[in-house]
Amino acid sequence: MIRDSSNAVRRTRYFLPTLKETPAEAQIVSHRLMLRAGMIRQASAGIYSWLPLGMRVLKKIEQIVREEQNRAGAQELLMPTIQSADLWRQSGRYDDYGKEMLRITDRHEREMLYGPTNEELITQIFASEVKSYRDLPLNLYHIQWKFRDEVRPRFGVMRGREFYMKDAYSFDLDAEAGRVAYNKMFVAYLRTFARMGLKVIPMRADTGPIGGDMSHEFLILAETGESAVYCHKAYLDMEVPAEGVDYGNHDALAKIVAGWTAEYAVTDEMHDAAACPVPADQLVTARGIEVGHIFFFGTKYSEPMGAKVTGPGGEEVFVEMGSYGIGVSRLAGAIIEACHDDAGAIWPESVAPFQVGLVNLRQGDDACDAACSDIFATLRDAGQEVLYDDRDERAGVKFADMDLIGLPWQLVVGPRGLKSGVVELKRRAGGEREELSVESALARLTGKRAS
Ligand code: 5CA
Calculate the dihedral angle through the C-alpha atoms of 365, 368, 372, 375, rounding to the nearest 10 degrees: 150
Strands 283-298 and 316-318: unpaired
Ligand 1 pocket (Cβ < 6 Å) reads 117, 119, 148, 150, 159-160, 163, 165, 167, 210, 290-293, 295, 323-325, 327, 329-330
- pLDDT value of position 223: 84
- Nearest ligand 1 atom, CA 153: 25
Determine contact, residues 201/266, Cβ cutoff 8 Å: no
* CA–CA separation, 235 and 232 (whole Å): 6
Per residue, the 3-state secondary structure of 212-239, as one string, reads CCEEEEEEEECCCCCEEEEEEHHHHHCC
CA angle, corner 117, sides to 115 and 118, nearest 5?
Answer: 90
Residue nearest to atom 10 of ligand 1 (CA): 293
* CA–CA separation, 4 and 60 (whole Å): 15
Q: What is the DSSP string of 24-35?
A: TT--SHHHHHHH
Q: How many CA atoms lie within 13 A of 381 on its CB side?
A: 7
Residue nearest to atom 23 of ligand 1 (CA): 159
Residue nearest to atom 29 of ligand 1 (CA): 327
DSSP character for 449? P
Instruction: Using only the alpha carbons of the chain, give its radius of gyration.
Output: 25
- Nearest ligand 1 atom, CA 325: 4
- pLDDT value of position 410: 98
* CA–CA separation, 52 and 246 (whole Å): 37
Strands 320-327 and 340-341: unpaired
- pLDDT value of position 275: 87
C-alpha 427 chain-centroid distance: 23
Ramachandran angles phi, psi of 92, nearest 5°: 85, 5
Determine contact, residues 421/436, Cβ cutoff 8 Å: no
* CA–CA separation, 30 and 50 (whole Å): 14
pTM: 0.96
Sign of the CA dihedral running 84, 85, 88, 93: positive
- pLDDT value of position 287: 93
- pLDDT value of position 447: 85
* CA–CA separation, 20 and 227 (whole Å): 31
Cis peptide before 137 (omega within 30 of 0): yes
Which residues pair with residue 365 across a beta bridge?
A: none
User: Angle formed by the axes of helices 175-195 and 52-71, to 10°?
Assistant: 140
Q: What is the DSSP string of 235-298?
A: GGGPPPPPTT--TT-HHHHHHHHHHHHSS-EEETTT--GGG--S-GGGEEEEEEEEEEEEEEEE
Please give the distance, rounded to the nearest whole angstrom, from the Cα atom of residue 291 to the centre of ligand 1: 8
Q: What is the mean pLDDT of each run of 10 residues along the chain (451 residues)?
A: 83 97 91 98 97 98 98 98 97 94 97 98 98 98 97 93 98 97 98 96 80 86 88 95 97 97 90 90 95 96 97 97 98 97 97 98 97 97 97 97 98 97 97 97 84 50
197 three-state secondary structure? coil
Residue among 288, 293, 266, 286 at smallest CA distance from 277: 266
DSSP character for 384? -
- Nearest ligand 1 atom, CA 167: 4
Determine contact, residues 227/215, Cβ cutoff 8 Å: no
Calculate the dihedral angle through the C-alpha atoms of 187, 191, 197, 203, rounding to the nearest 10 degrees: -10
CA angle, corner 147, sides to 143 and 153, nearest 5?
Answer: 120
- pLDDT value of position 25: 87
C-alpha 61 chain-centroid distance: 5
> Which of 293, 323, 326, 335 maximizes ligand 1 atoms within 8 Å of its Cβ, making it the mutation to test the pocket?
293
Q: What is the DSSP string of 390-422?
A: --S--HHHHHHHHHHHT-SEEEEE-HHHHHTTE
Please give the distance, rounded to the nearest whole angstrom, from the Cα atom of residue 198 to the centre of ligand 1: 18
* CA–CA separation, 154 and 333 (whole Å): 12
DSSP character for 23? P
- pLDDT value of position 268: 87
